């Protein structure tokens, strides 16, 4: 596998990484996946997540990044801003991953609708399987259409393991 070059990765001012927040700007290509995985590893370790939970977080983050590259940008190079942070709200802690792309908006779907429909295992076809995977692993998956792109947010609860509530 090729290594990501310096043209593929840029850091942005995101504050001190010791406060639990990391930011990065990536090109939407597979060469950047190792950097993304490293950030997931760092943040899940800071969140004291188990190896199993950390691997599940990595799968969801990898799948979302791959979806942005393949579907939003159609395999062409494109900018993806990535930010991850640990947030505390009352006594709850969450590990949050935000993805911002600048691709033309081509999807106005409903994540809950896609993931709530029964899966027809006899007639599997492309379309929505990655979102099902992401939704099954993340405690919350959000998508917002922006004027010039998309914003995706994955939320993973830290203290109480996995559940199905969006609270951020």
Q: pLDDT tens-digit profile of 39-88?
A: 999 999 999 999 999 999 999 999 999 989 988 898 899 999 999 999 98
Would the pLDDT of 160 be above 70? no
> How far apart (Å, rounded) are the C-alpha atoms in residues 62 and 30?
10
> How far apart (Å, rounded) are the C-alpha atoms in residues 141 and 112?
9
Chain segment 16-46, per-residue pLDDT in tens: 444 478 999 999 887 788 899 999 999 999 9
The two structure tokens encoding residue 67: 């979806």
Least confident span in 78-87, 96-105, 115-124, 148-157:
115-124
Name the band, by pLDDT with cuts 50, 70 and 90, for residue 98.
Answer: very high
**What are the counts of helices (DSSP H) followed by strands (DSSP E) for the chain?**
4, 6
Contacts of residue 45, defined as CB under 8 A and 6 or more positions apart, other chains included, come to 54
**Mean pLDDT, the chain, as a whole number?**
80
Question: What percent of the chain stands above pLDDT 90?
Answer: 45
pLDDT of residue 124: 58
pLDDT of residue 16: 43
What structural domains and CATH numbers belong to the chain? 9-157 (3.30.565.10)
pLDDT of residue 126: 60
Would the pLDDT of 163 be above 50? no
Would the pLDDT of 117 be above 70? no
pLDDT of residue 33: 85
């Amino acid at each position: 596998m090729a290594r990501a070059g310096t043209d593929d990765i840029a850091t942005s001012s995101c504050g001190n990484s010791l406060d639990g927040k990391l930011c990065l700007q990536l090109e939407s290509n597979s060469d950047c996946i190792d950097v993304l995985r490293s950030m997931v590893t760092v943040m899940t370790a800071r969140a004291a997540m188990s190896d199993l939970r950390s691997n599940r977080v990595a799968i969801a983050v990898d799948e979302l990044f791959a979806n942005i590259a393949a579907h939003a940008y159609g395999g062409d190079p494109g900018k993806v801003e990535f930010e991850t942070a640990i947030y505390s709200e009352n006594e709850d802690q969450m590990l949050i991953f935000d993805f911002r792309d600048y691709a033309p908006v081509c999807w106005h779907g409903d994540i809950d609708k896609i993931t709530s429909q029964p899966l027809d295992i006899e007639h599997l076809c492309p379309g929505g399987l990655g979102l099902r995977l992401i939704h099954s692993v993340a405690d919350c998956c959000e998508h917002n259409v922006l004027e010039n792109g998309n914003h995706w947010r994955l939320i993973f609860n830290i203290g109480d393991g996995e559940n199905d509530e969006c609270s951020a």
